[in-house]
Amino acid sequence: MLNSTIFSSLQSATQGSGFAPAKASQAAYTQDKLTIAQSILLEPFGLQLQALPQLIAEIKRHQVDEADVYFQYTRSESWSLEEGIVKTGSFSIDQGAGIRAVSGEKTAFAYTDDISWASLLDAAHTVRAIGSAGKQAKVNLKKAKLAKSRDLYNSLDPIASLGSAEKIELLGKVEALAKAKDARIKQVMASLGTEYDVVLVARADGVMAADVRPLIRLSVSVIAESGDRRETGSSGGGGRFGLAYFDDALITHYVDEAVQSALINLEARPAPAGEMSVVLGKGWPGILLHEAIGHGLEGDFNRKGSSAFAGMIGKRVAAKGVTVLDDGTLSDRRGSLNIDDEGNASQRNVLIEDGILKGYIQDSMNARLMGVSPTGNGRRESYAHVPMPRMTNTYMLAGDKDPQEVIASLKRGLYASNFGGGQVDITSGKFVFSASLAYWVENGKIQYPVKGATIIGSGPECLKKVSLIGNDLALDSGVGTCGKDGQSVPVGVGQPTLRIDGLTVGGTA
Query: pLDDT tens digits for the chain (509 residues)?
Result: 223 222 233 333 323 323 233 344 566 677 889 999 999 999 999 999 999 999 999 999 999 999 999 999 999 999 999 988 998 999 999 999 999 999 999 999 999 999 999 999 999 999 999 987 655 545 565 677 888 889 999 999 999 999 999 999 999 999 999 999 999 999 999 999 999 999 999 999 999 999 999 999 999 999 999 999 999 999 999 999 999 999 999 999 999 999 999 999 999 999 999 999 999 999 999 998 898 899 999 999 999 999 999 999 999 999 999 999 999 999 999 999 999 999 999 999 999 999 999 999 999 999 999 999 999 999 999 999 999 999 999 999 999 999 999 999 999 999 999 998 778 888 888 889 899 999 999 999 999 999 999 999 998 899 999 999 999 999 999 999 999 999 999 999 999 999 999 999 998 76
Question: What CA–CA distance (Å, rounded) separates 403 from 484?
Answer: 33
SS3 for 126? helix
pTM for the whole structure: 0.91
Half-sphere exposure in the Cβ direction for 80 (13 Å, CA):
9
pLDDT of residue 141: 59
Q: What span, in angstroms and rounded, lies between the C-alpha atoms of 399 and 78?
A: 39
Task: Give the single-character DSSP code of 246.
Answer: S
pLDDT of residue 38: 96
Q: Are 79 and 167 in contact (CB under 8 A)?
A: yes
Q: How far apart are CA 436 and CA 282, in angstroms?
A: 14
Residue 138: what pLDDT?
A: 53
Least Cα distance to 286 among 162, 163, 390, 419 occurs for 419
Distance from C-alpha of 128 to C-alpha of 107, rounded to nearest angstrom: 10
Q: What is the model's pLDDT at position 20? A: 33
Q: Which residues of 31-67 are buried (b: 16+ CB within 10 A; e: fewer)?
A: bbbbbbbbebbbeeeebebeebbebbbbbbbbebbbb
Residue-level pLDDT at 370: 97
- What contacts 15, CB < 8 A, 6 or more positions away? none
